Amino acid sequence: MQLNVYLAGEIHTDWRETIMMACEGLDIDWFGPVTDHDASDDCGVEIFGAESEKFWHDRKGALLNAMRIRTGIERADVLVVCFGEKYRQWNAAFDAGYAVALGKPVIVLHPTEFDHALKEVDAAANAVARTPGEVARALRYLVTGTL
């Protein structure tokens, strides 16, 4: 089986690379948000022109990034969403909710300390993983049907 997997969530650690390396050899097409923080923040003003107020600067980038994210989630067979420890990823919760609303399977990745805060997200997900290795094993099972 071939899968299109969208990797949503925090961009400050290497969890994406860890999962992709562990799934090497599987027929998976990977995609996700722009993970270059500066490019993601500044894309709107770089393309459409500067803004004097930070709100409008951020909004231009957010609207442009939203097109990429929505398109990616709609194209995905499975969404993996990671909630990291350094920052609270409100956008990751939104991505998970959008995927669930579209009927997409969702694997959530976060530490146990976030269980209470993410209980509704976890309840809507198909699986909750604690490590990138668990996500990789789940994806391997989805693609191959073997453990």
Residues 1-21 have pLDDT tens digits of 999 999 999 988 999 999 999
Nearest residue to 122 via CA among 141, 147, 140, 100:
100
Question: Which pLDDT band, with edges at 50, 70 and 90, does 85 fall under?
Answer: confident
What structural domains and CATH numbers belong to the chain? 3-33+76-144 (3.40.50.450)
Question: pTM for this one?
Answer: 0.94
Q: Is the pLDDT of residue 90 over 90?
A: no
118 pLDDT band, cuts 50/70/90, is very high
